[in-house]
Structure 1
């Protein structure tokens, strides 16, 4: 009886010791996915699987109330540079019970033996300091607060991005290009999607790419082709196209703060004598226009169908449709009135307007 009890106690001790078994970041329970739609399975910033990186995953909310879910604190840090995210809304998965907890009250183990997600240095969260310290003793690393963990993530962003880009150029882009050219529908248009996880979801759920044996792509293959289409092909196609709006990677919309280059389908620009501003949609462009009309030399927007730059003041606009832009409800521009009216009918628009007929009150209501 004593031997049985001793054996059982030893067995339970072995099970409870994380250092004796390979640590996995993948969820062992059914993962809680907060984003809506089929794209909820993947990180809204990099497209990585939430389930496979569940124990490093975080969530937040945009000012609009839209849920965002990330594979890592690194992707959260990137999103915080672009969006006005309330840190009090940020949650993280507790490594031990795999439940969402308040990130501001969590205890992070930074720099353990566990491989980082999208970063060189791992950052794992625990609900209490005892659990974090026990993990740190077994696996190394320092126990810190969320504020320090996000500060560390911010400081390493540049080096982490360089590391990830090097890997992408060497392995992921070539792999994704090969998959796309061999087994994918060549009509895939990456600019039709607002985020990489939406593109990835479409590839998977609409069978836009199939392996030669007729099976679905594996997660690694799906990620590679999604990254290639999102980060390489859509910008190559844009660069080849004539008469499109050109935006540099450091240009932010002065209204919402988003990086405009990520959304070329919606880009708009207002030019003054010696400078210009770029916007991630006509809605934000009009907000700026109403406040800064003096000295404008030119305004251009992106025609919804052709993706060409067109004169904003000669364009036609559909307001109140069921098509959303990067900032939600959007004002959709068209060069031709006939196309605007067709879109208006097909997408339940409220009005077709000329530029001079767009009113400040109607623009503000779209928020």
Structure 2
């Protein structure tokens, strides 16, 4: 009787080990492919927000940022950072929103890396927010401060934007840095500032 109980207990132990081993075995190529869906290479991009004719805004006018819009580069919510927000409008009237001028520049470097439906030629106009007044400025006309002690939404170096060189220079006098025009923001400078290199498309 005692021997039967011992054998029964041993058989139960073997069965438990075998079951655990089966559960830990790979399920084949399909399982491996499914597992790869959840790597850093996956990026789900929200489509550009289409123009709403009922808004009363011209198709290529800057628009209020929806509360649920996400930055295409870093995934944050631009509406939460109104002094830093930026946007790009495409020729079809659709828009992408960004939480800072830096992320706008990252996007403009290679548009189709972030949204395969568009490329640089599809961008009609981009806007940044005047850091002082909160008004929209066309990005090509803006002045940016690089190297100041003012941190952007990611609590890191960014490029606060201003509508005039004079107001940008005011910031540099109190917080350091230097004033740049749009074309002074080079790919090398963007790379040195870009903290989102892990976010690949």
Question: Does residue 345 in structure 1 map to residue 173 in structure 2?
Answer: yes
Aligned to 1:332: 160
Choose which of 284, 287, 298 in structure 1 pairs with 2:125. Answer: 298
Deviation at 1:245, TM superposition (A): 5.0
Q: Hey, what's the Cα distance between the residues in 2 that align with 1:272 and 1:320? A: 30
Question: Is 1:258 the equivalent of 2:86?
Answer: no
1:286 paired with 2:74, answer: no
Distance 2:186 2:125 in 1: 19
Q: Which residue of 310, 313, 326 corresponds with 2:137?
A: 310
Q: How many positions carry a matched residue from both structures?
A: 125
Mapping for residues 124-273 of structure 1, pairs under 5 Å: 245-273=63-91
**In structure 2, the residue corresponding to 1:343 is in which secondary structure?**
helix
What SS is found at the alignment partner of 1:297?
Answer: strand
- 1:355 aligned residue (174, 182, 185): 182
Q: How many Å apart are 1:294 and its aligned residue?
A: 2.0
Question: 8 Å contact 1:286–1:363 — kept in the other structure?
Answer: yes
Instruction: Mark the runs of 5 or more structure 2 residues left unpaired by the alignment.
Output: 1-39, 41-60, 112-119, 196-201
Distance in 1 between residues matched to 2:147 and 2:121, nearest whole Å: 28
- Counterparts in 2 of 1:245 and 1:324: CA distance versus 1, 3 Å: farther
**Would the aligned equivalents of 2:83 and 2:131 in 1 still touch at CA under 8 Å?**
yes
**Is residue 2:183 matched to residue 1:364?**
no
Q: How far apart are the structure 1 equivalents of 2:166 and 2:95?
A: 30
Alignment of 1:76-91 (within 5 A): none
Assess, with a 3 A threshold, how the Cα gap between structure 1 residues 295 and 361 changes in structure 2: closer, same or farther. same
- TM-score, normalization: structure 1? 0.33
Higher alpha-carbon Rg: 2
Q: TM-score, normalised by structure 2?
A: 0.59
What is the SS of the residue equivalent to 1:251? coil
Higher relative contact order structure (alpha carbons within 8 Å, sequence separation ≥ 6): 2
Cα distance in 1 for partners of 2:85, 2:175 equals 20
**Aligned partners of 1:308, 1:281: CA distance in 2, in Å?**
14
Alignment partners' CA distance in 2, 1:325 and 1:283: 9
